[in-house]
């Protein structure tokens, strides 16, 4: 395992690193973006298209989920994106999984 990756798994070092970076550079955007990227992976591609439509962004119909995730993160403020993402997740229709069980 590379040293940088193993350091970030050690909670004591990770917390000290975050404190140092916040003191030196202000808000640690890298960690915020990493967290948002992980949260956005919960969205289905169709739900990402809904976010694009709601914000008047180009749809990119033939592009991958990863491309659209990056596009949304670059195009929208992270706080707005998080709020809209949560709304989409709460409105998700899970009944499509019950159709095959009947």
- Please write the tens of the pLDDT for every residue from 62-76: 999 999 999 999 999
pLDDT of residue 76: 93
Non-local CB neighbours of 57 within 8 Å, separated by 6+ positions: 51, 71, 72, 75, 76
Residue 31 pLDDT level (bands cut at 50, 70, 90)? low
> Of all residues in the chain, what percent carry a pLDDT higher than 90?
34
> What average pLDDT is seen over the chain?
78
- Does position 41 have pLDDT exceeding 80, yes or no? yes
Rounded Cα gap, residues 50 and 72, in angstroms: 11
pLDDT of residue 52: 96
Give the distance between the most distant pair of CA atoms in the chain: 58
Scanning the chain, the segments in alpha helix (DSSP H) are 3-9, 11-25, 29-40, 45-54, 65-75, 78-90
């Amino acid at each position: 395992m590379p040293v940088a990756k193993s350091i970030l798994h050690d909670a004591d070092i990770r917390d000290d690193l975050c404190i140092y970076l916040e003191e030196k550079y202000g808000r640690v955007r890298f960690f915020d973006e990493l967290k948002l990227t992980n949260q956005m992976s919960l969205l289905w591609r169709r739900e990402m298209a809904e976010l694009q439509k709601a914000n008047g962004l180009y749809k990119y119909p033939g592009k991958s989920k990863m491309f659209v995730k990056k596009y949304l993160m670059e195009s929208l403020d992270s706080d707005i994106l998080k709020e809209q993402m949560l709304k989409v997740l709460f409105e998700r229709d899970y009944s499509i999984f019950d159709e095959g069980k009947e």
